[in-house]
Structure 1
Amino acid sequence: MSMALVFFTLILLLAVPCTGQNPPSAGYNPSSRFRTVGFDQAFRNLWGLQHQRIDQGTLTIWLDRSSGSGFKSLRPYQSGYFSAAIKLQTGYTAGVITSFYLSNNEAHPGDHDEIDIEFLGTTLGKPYTLQTNVYMRGSGDGRIIGREMKFNLWFDPTQDFHNYAILWTPTEIIFLVDDVPIRRYPRKTDATFPLRPMWVYGSIWDASSWATENGKYKADYHYQPFLGRYRNFRVSGCSANGSSGSCSPPSVSSSGSSGLSHQQAAAMAWVQQNHMVYNYCRDLSRDRTLTPECFARAL
């Protein structure tokens, strides 16, 4: 091969984005600040007990034609850092949701708040979609004003465990994957930010009506059971049952302050530029008057 051809090929390679790249270093690993806890120390089964088992510290929950399964934290929190290492089912998983989230739906039925990490199942050969969402006072009957941001990750989440985290404080919500911030949702007004105590949940369930390409592909129980595996739980926050003023919300910044460092913000920008596939603020079909925070930056 001639030197000219080598040079031309190199230019082409540099010009084409590499989808297999890892994000730039965020410069700090906040998960190292929080100790792991066993499932029984922080959670209990909520439903589908027969579809749940613990083996050497790993919780497995599964969905088949008869049932899914879910779990819930032992106590509610006013703020905190909540994470789990999760490994997803490989193969056809369309219609199946594997989740880790905060909610107060049992305390406020028909009027609850939620902060979601949801893995939307997929068809063969297509990547999982990680959906983050924040909503306030939603009922699940069509009145929810979702604030979804969706990502195709820079790795295959079925091949190994990866750490997924939610930081929730009185001023911001930050979603992280393997200590890399992927989304920051700051508090702009009380009306657009969840402030009531919430519990930590995880679940696997059939959401065929909307989960995969807006319901185009349904759960196919020829592929059952669908498994979700969780371990290395971290639950560190201000308990809603504690005395007022006795707890300071955690931080994911190396300085201990709110927000992100410049390096963390740069890593988040890279993820959003290269791996974000949906942003509710950019969806022109939506009524922007319902999401006033979209008129501000730093989403």
Structure 2
Amino acid sequence: MPSSLPYFPLMAPHFFLVFFLMIFSGSAQDPPSPGYYPSSKIASVNFNQGFRNLWGSQHMKLDQDSLTIWLDSNSGSGFKSLHSYRSGYFSAAMKLQPGYTAGVITSLYLSNNQDHPGNHDEIDIEFLGTTPGKPYVLQTNVYIRGSGDGNIIGRELRFHLWFDPTQDFHNYAILWKPSEIIFLVDDVPIRRYPRKSDATFPTRPMYLYGSIWDASSWATEDGKYKADYTYQPFIGRYKNFKLQGCTADGPSSCQPPSVSPSGSSSLSPQQNAAMQWVQNNYLVYNYCHDPSRDHNLTPEC
């Protein structure tokens, strides 16, 4: 058959727009390849081998190794790792509930709040519930020595995502090293929080938690939209748990895994480029750029 190229000039101009959108729209929103996939290097653990229910046991169901927790007007639910860690790689695949989820937090986070009440450290991955037609917000946060308790010094970076997190499971990970914290989504680094001083970096052992709970006072557009229990139950799904790190009582020579090629100390240039692309396109809030914040309290900015 003759080439179709000679016929292009005869076609309506809008054809070209549709044609090129069809070609490029499928991949245009995907981040550049990070070039390295640490989740494939770390073995999964069975839920019962690594965790226990912490609260809301009647709102938790384990089916083989897929965990479902839910929130209704009676209770939410949460789980906790069996061991505390002083560094490591922590991740789970999560799938969120579609529809109206305002006020509801679905989370995976490190914390020592039970060991240090009122003076704790925390590293958060939190999905802030939303209203229909608006994307989920993924919030990453770091608290140091009680700054989440009384002083409320959060270090929030918030993102939209390049996919719909309600449609399938995606991997969400925290790498916590003595020198830095890296947050990853499907092995793509989205945030790096370096250790600039002891005062701005968590160093005490923490457990890994997951939970679903009602945070209506702040979770969705600063509390504008509350949890509406006519839509209950609100469901969070988890699987493919990974826990690899240095336990609090482990040898001092222990080193956490690397998320970079060849075990390099930090992110590769390709990983940094992918992270920059995410931040250029999907970062929606950065605490360091918030003019309403007192940046004397966040000297790392």
Provide TM-score, normalisation by structure 1. 0.93
Matches within 5 A, 1:132-143: 132-138=140-146, 140-143=148-151
1:20, 1:155 within 8 Å by CA — same for their partners in 2?
Answer: no
1:251, 1:258 within 8 Å by CA — same for their partners in 2?
Answer: yes
Pairwise CA distance, 1:250? 1.2
How far apart in 1 are the matches of 2:146 and 2:228? 29
In structure 1, the residue corresponding to 2:80 is in which secondary structure? strand
Aligned counterpart in structure 2 of residue 254 of structure 1, from 258, 261, 264: 261
How far apart in 2 are the matches of 1:244 and 1:20? 45
Aligned counterpart in structure 2 of residue 71 of structure 1, from 66, 72, 79: 79
Residue of structure 1 in register with 2:300 after alignment: 293
Amino acid at match of 2:141: N
How far apart in 2 are the matches of 1:9 and 1:200? 48
Residue of structure 1 in register with 2:56 after alignment: 48
Residue of structure 2 in register with 1:174 after alignment: 182
Cα distance per residue 1:109-138 (max 9 Å; x no partner): 000000000000000111100000011012
Residue of structure 2 in register with 1:158 after alignment: 166
Q: Aligned residue pairs: how many?
A: 292
Amino acid at match of 1:276: L
Amino acid at match of 1:289: N
How far apart in 2 are the matches of 1:204 and 1:175? 20
How far apart in 2 are the matches of 1:9 and 1:68? 48
1:137, 1:144 within 8 Å by CA — same for their partners in 2?
Answer: no
Residue of structure 1 in register with 2:243 after alignment: 235
Pairwise CA distance, 1:5? 3.2
Aligned counterpart in structure 1 of residue 90 of structure 2, from 69, 82, 91: 82
How far apart in 2 are the matches of 1:76 and 1:183? 23
In structure 2, the residue corresponding to 1:32 is in which secondary structure? helix
How far apart in 2 are the matches of 1:285 and 1:17? 37
Provide TM-score, normalisation by structure 2. 0.92
In structure 2, the residue corresponding to 1:290 is in which secondary structure? coil
In structure 2, the residue corresponding to 1:138 is in which secondary structure? coil
1:110, 1:138 within 8 Å by CA — same for their partners in 2?
Answer: yes
1:19, 1:154 within 8 Å by CA — same for their partners in 2?
Answer: no
Structure 1 position 270 matched with structure 2 position 277: yes
How far apart in 1 are the matches of 2:43 and 2:122? 24
Larger Rg: 2
2:94, 2:170 within 8 Å by CA — same for their partners in 1?
Answer: yes
Give the % identical residues: 74
How far apart in 2 are the matches of 1:100 and 1:20? 29
Structure 1: gaps (5+ residues): 295-299
Pairwise CA distance, 1:25? 0.4
Cα distance per residue 1:165-201 (max 9 Å; x no partner): 0000000000000000000001000000000000000
Structure 2: gaps (5+ residues): 1-8
Residue of structure 1 in register with 2:118 after alignment: 110
